[in-house]
Amino acid sequence: MKSLTWGRVLRYQVVFIFLICAFILAIILSVNSGTIKITPKEIFDIILFKAHEGTTASDIIWKIRLPRILTAAILGGGLAVSGFLLQTFFRNPIAGPYVLGISSGAKMFVSFVMIIVLKHFHSVPSYVLVIAAFAGSLFAMGFVMLAAGKVNSMAMLLVVGIMIGYICSAITDFFITFAAESDIANLTQWSMGSFAGADWADIKVICLIVFPALLAVFMLSKPIGAYQLGEGYAKSMGINIKLFRFLLIMFSSLLSATVTAFAGPISFVGIAVPHIAKFLMNTAKPIIIIPATFLCGGVFCSFCDLIARTAFSPTEMAIGTVTAIFGAPIVIWIMLDRRIKKA
């Protein structure tokens, strides 16, 4: 028993160290990739010792590449945790913000607010985008919850979520049609998903939202673990089910809304990454899976953003395209694996 426990602890430590090393590698590759090449020595000197201040290399790293990679990592981790919360809530392995239409609802509200505000101002404050995205997420989640009370099949619930996503996307495209010509290109790029244009001011707002929410979710590890064993068991442990469900919805909506506000809708991260974390850790314990999911999401989105930025340079792909390429096969594997086990 002790060897099994120590074996699990060792596995957790190895995986966490691996994910941290993978993230550091992603930073090095991302900072070193681009039309202007910067040597590894220059990168370390600029980041660690703030050398070469005022040079082109320093400006590129501190103002463009480093903010972008950190934004991708933090938002990717937040989106993955949001997917984990939705999978817990609906007890469905392929539930996620994108599939259930939550990201599309956030996109619809944000695009509407951007079009209105940009007619009178040059830019939209970050907090306005987050509020609009959060309202849109809750709006879409409300319809999903209404559908959940009417349908018995989880498969049918996912179909409803996908239809909600299509409707919200159609309305978003309708809004963009009436946007000013100067804003259409930016709105279209944002609606396809991108971490481009991130700066330190955005990272500050993102950190103020994502990390407190992540800490709160981590504090819910024990109730989540009890809920995974069944609603009856959770009640016997003294958990207020209504309050617990409300918190799951609020935190999952807030995390996915923050991602949509700053990077647009990103597909498959919320579905695939929690399963990658469970596979690596070989456990479903929330106290382990929540931080592992966040790290996996950060690494996954960091490398996907690197590929999106460099694969066909100078042309940049939408981040959602790359996450779909790598995330969709994982979702297919999950569905086939469940079908095989049932058979």
Higher-confidence residue of 294 and 309: namely: 294
pLDDT in tens, 14-33: 999 999 999 999 988 888 88
Predicted confidence band of residue 1 (pLDDT cuts 50, 70, 90): very low
8-state DSSP, 123: S
- How confident is the prediction for the chain on average, in pLDDT? 87
Helices (H), 220-342: 221-228, 231-236, 241-263, 269-281, 286-310, 319-342
| Assigned token pair, 240 | 């207020």
Least-confidence region, from 157-161, 184-188, 329-333: 184-188
Measuring CA to CA, how many Å separate 94 from each of 86, 158, 159? 9, 8, 12
Mean pLDDT of 270-284: 91
8-state DSSP, 53: T
- pLDDT of the residue at 2: 47
pLDDT in tens, 201-210: 999 999 999 9
> Is the separation of the CB atoms in 260 and 107 below 8 Å?
yes
Q: Is 312 helix (H, G, I), strand (E, B) or coil?
A: strand
For the structural domain made of 77-342, what CATH number should be given? 1.10.3470.10
Share of the chain above pLDDT 70, in %: 95
Strands (E), 28-123: none
- pLDDT of the residue at 3: 47
Least-confidence region, from 29-38, 96-105, 181-190, 289-298: 181-190
Q: What are phi and psi of 54, to 5 degrees?
A: 90, -10
**Residue 317: is its pLDDT beyond 60?**
yes
pLDDT in tens, 61-114: 898 999 999 999 999 999 999 999 999 988 888 888 988 889 899 999 998 888
Predicted confidence band of residue 7 (pLDDT cuts 50, 70, 90): confident
The DSSP bridge partners found for residue 312 are 315
Name all contacts of 53-61 with Cβ < 8 Å and 24+ positions apart: 60/34, 60/36, 61/31
The label of the residue with tokens 């442990």 reads 237
Length of the chain counted residue by residue = 343
Cα 50 to Cα 187: distance, rounded to the nearest angstrom: 35
| Assigned token pair, 201 | 């001011």
Predicted confidence band of residue 338 (pLDDT cuts 50, 70, 90): low
Least-confidence region, from 228-237, 283-292, 331-340: 331-340
User: Which residue in 179, 181, 202 sits closest to 63, CA to CA?
Assistant: 202
